[in-house]
Amino acid sequence: MEVSKKEILEKIKENYNEYSAYQVQTFLIDEDISESELRKAIMLNDEYEGNVDEIVDAIKYWSEPVLESTKESPPNRIKESCTEIYFWGLSGAGKTWALAGIFDTIDSEGLLKLYGKYEREQCISSDYLNGLLNVINNRNPINKMPDKTSNDTLRYMNFKLLKKGVDRKVAFIDLCGDLVLAIAKENVIKNHKDLINERKLLETLLSNKNRKIHFFFIEYDRRRSDEKKQSIYFSNLCAIFNSKKYFESNTDFIYIVITKADKISKVGGSVRRNEAIKYFNNNYKSFRNNLGQICQDNEINFGDEYEDGDYSFLDDYILDFSMGKVLFYKLCQFNKESSKIIVEKILDNIQKEGRGWRSIFG
């Protein structure tokens, strides 16, 4: 169905994210609208701020950022002692965007220390890590955001974080949405074969003795039908976590990250975070309660210090997350406020090699 010039421009005036950057670029190429008309429509949007020429140029020269594929698979056993940080999320939750923001913050704050070419240990998913590091260019006011995680289903990015001048070994394990979904389906479809090798590899990694932190990414205000499915998937994930005892002895912290929180409020702070907490507690009750019980049974998030069935402690581990202002789906005026909070949580909780949280701090 052909869309008229008037309709295109009116929709851009009302909502920057009515069309993708690629669609608007196509409108310009096909001469459905002119650059001057686009500029005017952008400036008439109530949310307009910044430099209109920079926005238009980003659309004109739009190309989809491509993250490098991982050339190596993680080994079944990780010999080096480190803190492993797992990133879980279904497709479309914004986890890849968030990781780009987190890595940019780690780098810009001077906390990143990569393994050298001749060191005994090497970063396994180095291509992917370097791709994430290059997504955001702080010299550019408008950044192009990558698509969801592609065919590689599990990426193991090991490196060091500089915490108060001391190297701390960490590994970021990025699980693509298809793998997370396949794990949830274990509780629904008996003996299903989807990504079976990747699921076995993940199970092996989760059973090693390294201390672990988990971040679960949930998209705020997903379409109602998808939101219900997402809630059910996460409840099934908890059932698998329980039956396979994934978090029984080596997990210190679990965080819930509500992504695309700019839909709640353009401004961060306690009001937006409280709304994110309310959203999670109201829409993911079964996942919340199951996760709370896992925490209490396994001394995670200090949940065991609360009465059985009192899961209010989880509120302290729910974070709102925004990359900044999103324009035309794929363009972003990056704000590292949310990324910085996650990096601070990681720095606060990473362990000295071979020692658990409680063994250090009592």
62-71, 117-126, 296-305 — which one is most confidently predicted on average? 296-305
273 assigned to some structural domain: yes
Q: 345: pLDDT confidence band, cut at 50, 70 and 90?
A: very high
- Same domain for 210 and 112, yes or no, is yes
- Same domain for 211 and 88, yes or no, is yes
pLDDT in the model for residue 356: 45
Instruction: Tell me phi and psi for residue 186, to 5 degrees.
Output: -55, -30
- Same domain for 177 and 298, yes or no, is yes
Residues 163-200 have pLDDT tens digits of 888 999 999 999 999 999 999 999 999 888 999 999 99
Place of tokens 């609360």: 306
Domain that holds residue 39: 5-60
Residues 195-234 have pLDDT tens digits of 999 999 999 999 998 999 999 999 998 765 577 788 899 9
Alpha helical stretches, state H, 215-256: 224-244
The stretch 20-35 carries a mean pLDDT of 95
- Same domain for 115 and 152, yes or no, is yes
- Same domain for 155 and 254, yes or no, is yes
Provide the number of structural domains found in the chain. Answer: 2
56 assigned to some structural domain: yes
| Greatest C-alpha distance within the chain | 67
Q: 357: pLDDT confidence band, cut at 50, 70 and 90?
A: very low
- Same domain for 15 and 107, yes or no, is no
Q: What integer best gives the mean pLDDT of the chain?
A: 88
- Same domain for 112 and 241, yes or no, is yes
d(CA 176, CA 182): 10
Whether the model clears a pTM of 0.95, i.e. scores above it, the answer is no
- Tell me the Cα Rg of the chain: 21
106 assigned to some structural domain: yes
- Same domain for 143 and 174, yes or no, is yes
- Same domain for 21 and 111, yes or no, is no
DSSP letter at 328 equals T
- Which position has the higher pLDDT, 107 or 149? 107
**How many percent of the chain have pLDDT more than 90?**
65
- Same domain for 307 and 212, yes or no, is yes
146 assigned to some structural domain: yes
73 assigned to some structural domain: no
Q: What CATH number is attached to the domain comprising 357?
A: 3.40.50.300
Instruction: Tell me phi and psi for residue 256, to 5 degrees.
Output: -110, 125
- Same domain for 287 and 188, yes or no, is yes
16 assigned to some structural domain: yes
Q: Give the residue from 45, 60, 75 where a domain finishes.
A: 60
71 assigned to some structural domain: no
The stretch 19-28 carries a mean pLDDT of 94
Q: What DSSP string runs through 91-138?
A: TTSSHHHHHHHHHHHHHHTT-EEPPPTTSSS--TTHHHHHHHHTT--T
- Same domain for 269 and 203, yes or no, is yes
Instruction: Tell me phi and psi for residue 345, to 5 degrees.
Output: -60, -45
178 assigned to some structural domain: yes
